[in-house]
Amino acid sequence: MVDTTSKDAIISNIKRRCRNQDMVHIQMYGQFKYKNIIERISELMLENIIPIKLRRNVNVDVYVHTALEEQAGGYCWGDKKDVEIEIARTSEGYRFSREELLINLTHELVHAKQFISGELTGKAMSTWKRSDHSKTPYSHQPWEREAYYWEKRLYEQYFKKLKV
């Protein structure tokens, strides 16, 4: 007799894990060691953390710059189909380590997830899950709180073990 319940559970897990596979395409621009590996890991991470089933292709462009405006470590903006991320190598004369660059990238990928899933919208990035947060201080913005909460956890899960 075949145990179909465990077989169905395995198939269900595989379907769930692969639901967004090959729907997210990340392209990095600028010099970055092991760029192709970082692109693939970033795609896998993003595909796994997006809470909705994608029925469309999504393009995420990542630009690596020497420095960014206001000395930020990174920026992200976009919509459900296209997202742009900028990552800085330096801030106020400080050069980020490889680990810090990847943590900054992970933080911005969480924002990409928020745009792709429709959680974060608006030209001023002020609408979170249909609520206006235009007057919410930076440290209390729910999308930033989520990104800070997940950045190190996801970095450790996807990047740290690979020693890239």
Tell me the per-residue pLDDT of 55-103, one tens digit each, with 9 for 90 and over: 899 999 999 999 999 989 999 999 999 999 999 999 999 999 999 999 9
pLDDT of residue 76: 95
**152 alpha carbon, distance to own chain's centre:** 12
Confidence of residue 18 (pLDDT cuts 50, 70, 90): low
pLDDT of residue 162: 75
Q: Indicate if the pLDDT at residue 164 is higher than 70.
A: no
pLDDT of residue 88: 97
The chain-wide mean pLDDT, for the chain, equals: 87
What is the per-residue pLDDT across 134-149, written as a single tens digit (0 to 9) for each? Answer: 888 888 999 999 999 9
pLDDT of residue 161: 79
pLDDT of residue 19: 54
> When comparing pLDDT for 1 and 128, which is higher?
128
For 22-73, list the strands marked E by DSSP: 24-29, 58-65
pLDDT of residue 13: 56
pLDDT of residue 24: 94
Q: How far apart are CA 77 and CA 40, in angstroms?
A: 20
Q: How far apart are CA 140 and CA 133, in angstroms?
A: 9
In sequence order, what are the beta bridge partners of 83?
A: 60, 78
* pTM for the whole structure: 0.84
Q: How far is CA 100 from CA 8, 68, 88, 114, in A?
A: 41, 15, 10, 21
Q: How far apart are CA 148 and CA 101, in angstroms?
A: 14
Beta carbons of 64 and 30 less than 8 angstroms apart? yes
What is the mean predicted confidence (pLDDT) over 20-29? Answer: 85
Sheet holding 120-121, edge to edge: 120-121, 127-128, 131-132
Q: How far is CA 19 from CA 84, 124, 151, 152, in A?
A: 23, 31, 23, 25
Q: List CB contacts of 162: < 8 A, sequence separation 6 or more.
A: 37, 41
